[in-house]
Amino acid sequence: MSVRRPETAALPEAGPRLPLPQPLRGVRVLEVADRRVAYAGRLLAGLGAEVILIEPPERRRDAPTPADLYFRSGKKAVTLDLAVAAGRHTLFRLAAYADVLLVAGPPGERRRLGLTFEDLHPAFPRLVVGSIADFGLSGPDADRPANELVAFAESGLMSISGTPGEPPVAAPPHHAADLAGAYLAFGVLVALWERARTRRGREVEVSVQEALAVEEHTISTASDEGRDLVRVGSQHMVAVPGSVFRVKDGYVHAYVADTMPGSWERLLEWMGHPPELADERYRQGLYRRAHVEEITPVVARFFARFTRQELYLEGQRRRLCITPVNTPREYLEDVQTRARGFVVQARVPGHGWVGVPGSPFLLNGHRVPPAGVPRPGEHNREVYLGLVGYGEEELAALAQSGVV
């Protein structure tokens, strides 16, 4: 049960809403299946685009994972073997009816498949090509084998992640791919806006390594000040207290900073003005940061006497920023999550209706609901017969040969 939700809490009623917007309605996106572009396709689908997910035929044998339920929701799904000429020919026929192509991989692999911008632009001058590669499409490392962890390690971001004195730690799984995908979706929107004026598409390229490198201020600090940031664990770089604390039933995060006037004094009052923290200089945030080793243990001992809910509720009463560290399930139960309708219902063939995260943005107070979670190849007939224009015999021959 969510720490912040009393059992009797009622959800607020939804207020008036304007008509549901779909700003990308009429935009068709082809997504060549790859984890690095999956989030970009999901974001565009959340804006109303028709996203056609193109997967290898063997994908039909795989059972859906929880990640599939999210990244596939709102898309159409076809199967196509791009390793053979007939599959690539079919993709080119599809591209004639598309506005955007999302594709990932190093430039050498893209050239082998005929999926570079130089391959596509002469035939489809209005097509926007959205590309993600671990190290980008140029430079000496462009074709080097890599994955998200390699890009994270070489971006400089891993070096500041973790606890002082311990080895650096990796980001949560797929954080790098999703971040790059968000940047790609933004770039695609800009390219579509430009195309409305120029009538010509362009390539939008995102490097996973560079997408990570612009996070925080690691690169600007190294470039402008000639120094590297260091690992601080869960401790905030400025605020003290500003860390994660162990309590009776888990963990809380507390944040006391000069940007929240009076918060230090209110915390001391709650703690009963412990003599260890009586120095008047502790009122200054920078002084507290310089003496974090003396302050943190005193606060930790005080917080350890309480549960997460006790600390949260009393912190709210005293206007202090203290919040529970939620598990994902507790987040789902939280009153704020439920009130905003973040988890939406999507239809999964063979599984019924399941809850999946909605789009991370609202338009006129609405999230565009996903059309469902398709099975691999569910839309083969719709796309290949109705859009590409294949006949029944042609489609049957492609299926017989394993192309679809």
Three-state SS across 251-306?
A: EEEEECCCCCCCHHHHHHHHHCCCHHHCCHHHHCHHHHHHCHHHHHHHHHHHHCCC
From residue 11, alpha-carbon distances to 1, 39, 332, 333, 335 in Å are 15, 30, 14, 12, 7
Residues 6 or more apart in contact with residue 246 via CB below 8 angstroms = 300, 303, 304
CA distance 169 to 25: 41
Amino acid at 147: N
Q: Tell whether the model's pLDDT for residue 104 goes beyond 70.
A: yes
pLDDT at 2: 65
Q: Tell whether the model's pLDDT for residue 238 goes beyond 90.
A: no
Q: Tell whether the model's pLDDT for residue 360 goes beyond 90.
A: no
Question: What superfamily in CATH does domain 242-331 come from?
Answer: formyl-coa transferase, domain 3 (3.30.1540.10)
Give me the mean pLDDT over the 13-24 stretch. 59
Q: Tell whether the model's pLDDT for residue 9 goes beyond 80.
A: no
The pair of three-digit structure tokens given for residue 335, joined into one six-digit string: 């009153």
Give me the mean pLDDT over the 222-250 stretch. 88
Contact 107, 88 (CB under 8 A): no
CA distance 194 to 189: 9
Considering only CA atoms, give the Rg of the chain.
26
Q: Order of strands across the sheet with 242-247? A: 242-247, 250-255, 321-324
CA distance 169 to 152: 10
- What's the chain's length in residues? 404
Query: DSSP readout, 11-55?
Result: PPPP---PPPP-TTTT-EEEEE--HHHHHHHHHHHHTT-EEEEEE
28-220+343-400 — its CATH code? 3.40.50.10540
Q: Order of strands across the sheet with 203-207? A: 76-79, 50-55, 28-32, 100-104, 128-133, 203-207
Task: Report helix, strand or coil for 103.
Answer: strand
Alpha carbons within 13 A on the beta-carbon side of 73: 24
Contact 325, 250 (CB under 8 A): yes
Place of tokens 């799984």: 173
Average pLDDT, the chain: 90
Q: Tell whether the model's pLDDT for residue 43 goes beyond 50.
A: yes
The pair of three-digit structure tokens given for residue 367, joined into one six-digit string: 């999230």
For the ranges 151-155, 284-288, 390-394, which has the lowest average pLDDT?
151-155
Band the pLDDT of 200: cuts 50, 70, 90: very high
Nearest to 23 by CA among 193, 168, 151: 193
Q: Other CB atoms closer than 10 Å to residue 184's CB: what's the count?
A: 26
pLDDT at 355: 81
Q: Are strands 203-207 and 242-247 parallel, antiparallel or unpaired?
A: unpaired
Higher per-residue pLDDT: 31 or 339: 31
Q: In terms of C-beta density within 10 A (0-12 exposed, 13-18 middle, 19 or more buried), how is residue 223 classed? A: exposed
Amino acid at 204: V
Domain boundary assignment for the chain: 28-220+343-400, 242-331
Which segment, 60-69, 228-237, 379-388, is predicted with the most confidence on average?
379-388
CA distance 254 to 128: 45
Which pTM value belongs to this model?
A: 0.89
Nearest to 375 by CA among 75, 51, 42, 19: 75
Tell me if 28-220+343-400 shares its fold with 242-331.
no
